[in-house]
Amino acid sequence: MNNSKSLKEGEEMGKNKAPKNKERRRFLIQMAQNVAIATVGGLVWSAFVDEAKAAPLLLRPPGAKKEKDFISLCIKCGLCVEACPYDTLMLAKPGDNKPIGTPYFIPRDIPCYMCDDIPCVPPCPTGALDIDSVSEVKEGKRVFDITQMRMGVAIVDIKDCIAYWGIQCDACYRACPLLDKAIFMEYRQNERTGKHAKLLPVVDPDYCTGCGLCEHACVTEIAAIKVLPRDVALGKVGSHYVKGWQKSDERRLKGSKGIQTTVTPRSKKSAVESLNEGIDFE
């Protein structure tokens, strides 16, 4: 009797609990469903965003931070584009295969004319264009230095540059606003004629701002001098090599840990030590 009573009670209690449990189950499963849908949607969205970020060959406005930071900061407002008096800058449109809405320019079409007051950088609201990289505050006023900008670097294609054929072109040299600094002429004897010099344009990456006036001026069908993003075109020496004849070059080695070599029984002792082995020094 007791058993059946408690059984019945148990059943009733079970029934009362069941709705609660069912509710809980429903909630949990629905929550899990939402999370799953969110995750799937989120993954697809992320894939798209990740692809959309890639544009290694894009030239950014002056003062732009490194591409990774730039992509993070650019709010795609277009104020820099509107500020440019030469219509150099453009915003990437959907379908351009560039990070959407971000500013860029194509030097072959309209190069950067290196305005002294750099009107494109101050309007940037988020600091994607870093005003401090192209100016400094002297006596309370902001002084712009347009030569500090590093939008890219010009690279000469020596096979397609007619100056390397012997034609004394120098169009890019004369177009360069930092003439003799960013592009200078190297003279080489024209061996074919024996009587002339070749005027070969050479770019110094330390001064080249990447404005693209050279690319715009180049006379060949496809420009033989092109502006490429710095991290694509330039190399880095690293800390293995140093100019021993220049004390200031040692600054480059600061902070490097030195080279770790594998120690073998033979190399345990330094070269000088093994050379001096067996010699009786007085």
Is residue 177 involved in binding other proteins (CB under 8 A)?
no
Task: Write the burial class of residue 12 (CB in 10 Å: 0-12 exposed, 13-18 middle, 19+ buried).
Answer: exposed
In whole angstroms, what is the distance from residue 59 CA to residue 280 CA? 67
Is residue 73 involved in binding other proteins (CB under 8 A)?
yes
The residue among 34 and 274 lying less far from other proteins, judged by its C-beta, is: 34
* 273 φ/ψ angles, rounded to the nearest 5 degrees: -60, -45
Is residue 34 involved in binding other proteins (CB under 8 A)?
yes
Q: Exactly one of 5, 15, 68, 254 binds other proteins (CB under 8 A); which one?
A: 68
Minimum distance from residue 248 beta carbon to other proteins (Å): 35
The b-or-e profile of 101-119 (16+ CB within 10 A means b, else e) is bbbbbbbeebbbebbeebe
Q: Among 206, 205, 218, 138, which residue's Cα sits nearest to residue 173? A: 218
In whole angstroms, what is the distance from residue 200 CA to residue 4 CA? 106
Q: Which of residues 127-156 bind other proteins (CB under 8 A)?
A: 127
In whole angstroms, what is the distance from residue 206 CA to residue 19 CA? 75
Binding mask 36-65 for other proteins (x = CB under 8 A): -xx--xx--xx-xxx-xx------------
Q: What angle do CA 196, 199, 200 make, to 5 degrees?
A: 135
Is residue 140 within 8 A of residue 68, CB to CB? The reply is no
Q: What's the distance, CA 220 to chain centroid? A: 28
The residue among 35 and 253 lying less far from other proteins, judged by its C-beta, is: 35
In whole angstroms, what is the distance from residue 71 CA to residue 64 CA? 10
Minimum distance from residue 53 beta carbon to other proteins (Å): 6
Q: Which stretch binds other proteins (CB under 8 A): 69-77, 209-217, 242-250, 252-260?
A: 69-77
Q: Exactly one of 58, 59, 64, 90 binds other proteins (CB under 8 A); which one?
A: 90
Strand partners, 135: 144
Q: Exactly one of 55, 91, 172, 183 binds other proteins (CB under 8 A); which one?
A: 91
In whole angstroms, what is the distance from residue 172 CA to residue 219 CA? 9
In whole angstroms, what is the distance from residue 206 CA to residue 182 CA? 7
Q: Exactly one of 71, 110, 115, 179 binds other proteins (CB under 8 A); which one?
A: 71
In whole angstroms, what is the distance from residue 134 CA to residue 130 CA? 7
Q: Which stretch binds other proteins (CB under 8 A): 30-38, 175-183, 219-227, 274-282?
A: 30-38
Q: Exactly one of 6, 24, 26, 125 binds other proteins (CB under 8 A); which one?
A: 125
The residue among 127 and 177 lying less far from other proteins, judged by its C-beta, is: 127
CA distances from residue 6 to 13, 21, 72 in whole angstroms, order as listed: 10, 21, 66
The residue among 131 and 167 lying less far from other proteins, judged by its C-beta, is: 131
Q: Which of residues 95-124 bind other proteins (CB under 8 A)?
A: 95-96, 99-101, 123-124
Is residue 78 involved in binding other proteins (CB under 8 A)?
yes
Q: Which stretch binds other proteins (CB under 8 A): 34-42, 147-155, 244-252, 254-262?
A: 34-42
Please give the residue ranges that form the binding site for other proteins (CB under 8 A): 34, 37-38, 41-42, 45-46, 48-50, 52-53, 68-69, 71-73, 75-79, 81-82, 90-96, 99-101, 123-127
